[in-house]
Structure formats: C-alpha cells, structure tokens
Amino acid sequence: MSLSTILLICAVVAGLGGGLAARFRSWGTGLGDLLLGLLTGTLVIVFSTVVLTITHGLNLFGVIHILYLTAVIGLPIAFAIIAGPHLLNAEFVTPFIARAMVPTAIVLVGVGIWGTHIEPGRLRIDEHGLAAPGASTAFVVGVIADLQTPSIGQHENDALDDVLAAEPDLVVLPGDLFQFGDPRDFDAVAPEFVGWLRRLDAGTGEVIIVNGDVDDLEQLAALAETAGVTFLDNSITTIEVAGQAVSVIGLTTPLSGDRSVIDPIIVEQIDATVRDRDVVIMVSHRPDVVLSFDPDWPIDLLIAGHTHGGQVSVPGFGPPILFSEVPREVGAGGLHLVNGHPIYVSTGVGLERGQAPQLRFGVRPSVGLLTLVPE
C-alpha cells in the first residue's frame, strides 16, 4: 500500500472518529461534544504522524500532506456526521453551528478538488519583456522549469507545444526535470525524456539545461548528451542567438550548505570571461543565488525555478512557504528586480512529488516566454 493511500486512510479515520465522538456523546449544549470530537480527530492525526514517521520516514512534506487531507476530506466527513442529525430535525448542535458546518464542508471539498485535480493542469504562458543593454536585436527565451515528473505525459507535451509555438531563439530548463521514487526507474523512462528533449531541440535554436534539487547529475548529463542538448555544470557557453553573441552561465545546485553561495570556480570564470560580452544570461535552479551577485556583474537576466510559486498562494498574502530566501513576491514567480538585477522565477510546470500533496492552489503551472530587446 502506498504512503499516499495510508495518509488518506488516516485522514478519513480522523474525520470518522472526530465526528462520531462528537455525535454520540451529548452533553446538552453540544459545545463539549464538539470539543471532544476535535480532540479525538487531533489525537488520531498526531498518533498517525508519529507512527508513520517511525515506520515510513515521514518528512515535512508528508506532514503537510496528512494535514491537507485532513482539511479537505477528514473535516468534511466530521462535519457531515455532526451537522447531519440537525438537518434531519434531530437535536444535537445549534442551528447556527449546523448551518455553518455545511457550507464550510462544501468549501473544503471544493478546495481539495480544485487544488488536486484542476489547478495543477491549468498550464499558462507567462510572457514578459525586458531591455538588455548589450542586445543588438530582440530575441525570445523560452523557460520550462520543474517538470519534476516520473514520466512524460500529455501535460509535459502541452508545455513543450506552448513554448515551441512561440518559436523561441533559446530555451532554458532550470532544473528538476525528473523525479523518481526509485533511481532505478530512470533506465525505463529515459527514452521518453530523450525524445521530449530532442523534439524541443528540433523546434528551437538552442536548448540549455542545468540541474536541480531532485535531478541526478550524471543521469541528467547523460540525457543531455544523448538528446544533443547543452548541459551546463558550473560552466559558461557562448552561443549565437538572433545574430548576436549570448553568454549563458549555468549553475549547479549544491546538495547541501548555503544554496545562495555561487561556487568560487564559476565566480572566477564570470569575472574573467563575461565582462565584455554583449548579452549575459545566468540559469540557476534556485533563485537564492541572486543574493550573492557582485553588483558589478554585467548579467542581463537570471532565470530560475525551484519555488513553484509556492504551489499555494493565499489571497492578499501570497505563498506561505517558498523554501527560498528571496523576497516573497519574487519567489511567487514572474519578472522582478533584486538589488538592481533582473530575475525571472518560473512557477514551474509540475509539482513536488514524493511525500508532498499533489496540490496547486492559486498558483497555476506555467512556461515562460521572455523577450529581450535592445535598451
């Protein structure tokens, strides 16, 4: 049985336990019954979390997952059990509480359906324009970030089609291309990724990839070589784009330590090679590297992914969680300035896999189309 199924069962049991505990222990006013139900459901979730942490190595994403399922499945079940008798003209809770529980349950179920089954598939095209001081002619850069998928399906092909339809001069992939439960799965699906990359390469002038948090460096390098696209591992390449020289700096995401620190080796290369270049683009999986930029670096644009826009955005507040040190509005996605440096952060095409809930709410997946024009 998969961990996702176990988490679902825990959320359902919490809802049933909380609802039944409240319903069949009447203390007259109903308030005490509601508190007993809340305590019962909470104990089920706490106990399940502790046990699964021991038996299945539940991590932070797993805890978020079980809380999410409890909110959109467990609570509506409890509310139905608690409010149902009143709606059938039996005495238990006050009419006000019963009437409040019904629309709340409907909203929670709606959030679950939308966030899990609808929003993650609502792919959009995110278009921006910016001036590049060294550009002599305009050119288009396509961005496909964070597919983060165990296989290539319709959603991934739709993202590719959307980018190719714009006929970009350059396409960059800022990491997290694939994510497997077992690294041994790579060999079985590698041909799918190679075919996808070849099709992308055939429809554009140049394709450049860097690694992300979930990519295996050697596997990604092998994919790129087989597909005939450029893989940058803390290195710089200069290509011709729309008749002008464009230097692309590809950063490798470290597996540990301060993710905002740029490897000293690539810093030396930047200082030595890009000072007199016409257009300079940096590609990094994590946007945090912008916080380490030398103010004098002539970098026209940093392109990053990683945050997925938070995957959840609260109206009026933004994403509660970003796993990044950049300002909240930057990590939420789009084109911004940080310390005077242009940075584009993609909301990504896919989702965090593994133990995380398959959820997007208020943050649609996207591909980027960035038009750089002469200043």
Both 161 and 202 in one domain: the answer is: yes
Phi, psi of 334 (to 5 degrees): 105, -170
Q: Encode pLDDT of 290-329 as tens digits.
A: 998 888 788 899 999 999 999 999 988 999 999 999 999 9
- The verdict on pTM exceeding 0.85 is yes
Q: Average pLDDT of 146-152?
A: 93
Asked whether residue 124 carries a pLDDT value surpassing 70, the answer given is yes
Domain holding 64, by residue range, is 3-119
- Any idea what the Cα angle at residue 245 is, between residues 170 and 136, rounded to 5°? 90
Element (H, E) at 128: strand 124-132
Q: Encode pLDDT of 18-49 as tens digits.
A: 988 887 765 445 677 788 888 999 999 999 99
Given 93, 119, 145, which residue is the final one in a domain? Answer: 119
CA dist 333 and 322 (Å) reads 10
Both 201 and 347 in one domain: the answer is: yes
pLDDT, position 14:
96
Residue given tokens 């990053």 in the structure block: 304
Both 114 and 130 in one domain: the answer is: no
Given 67, 90, 119, which residue is the final one in a domain? Answer: 119
Both 97 and 132 in one domain: the answer is: no
Both 318 and 260 in one domain: the answer is: yes
Selection from 317, 310, 304 nearest residue 345 by Cα: 304
Q: Average pLDDT of 77-98?
A: 70
CA dist 80 and 32 (Å) reads 18
**Which carries the bigger pLDDT value, residue 374 or residue 98?**
374
Both 321 and 292 in one domain: the answer is: yes
Given 100, 119, 138, which residue is the final one in a domain? Answer: 119
Both 34 and 86 in one domain: the answer is: yes
**Which carries the bigger pLDDT value, residue 259 or residue 201?**
201
**Which carries the bigger pLDDT value, residue 69 or residue 297?**
69
Both 82 and 167 in one domain: the answer is: no
CA dist 370 and 129 (Å) reads 6
Domain count along the chain? 2
Judged by phi (left if over 0) then psi (alpha if -120 to 50, else beta), residue 167 lies in left
Q: Pick the most confident of 18-32, 89-103, 127-141, 171-185.
A: 127-141
Both 357 and 285 in one domain: the answer is: yes
Q: Average pLDDT of 7-22?
A: 93
Both 239 and 351 in one domain: the answer is: yes
Q: Supply the Cα-derived Rg of the chain in whole angstroms.
A: 24
Return the CATH number at 249. Answer: 3.60.21.10
Q: Encode pLDDT of 202-230 as tens digits.
A: 999 799 999 999 998 899 999 999 999 99
Q: Average pLDDT of 109-138?
A: 95
Selection from 116, 204, 189, 107 nearest residue 156 by Cα: 189
Both 298 and 334 in one domain: the answer is: yes
Both 114 and 38 in one domain: the answer is: yes
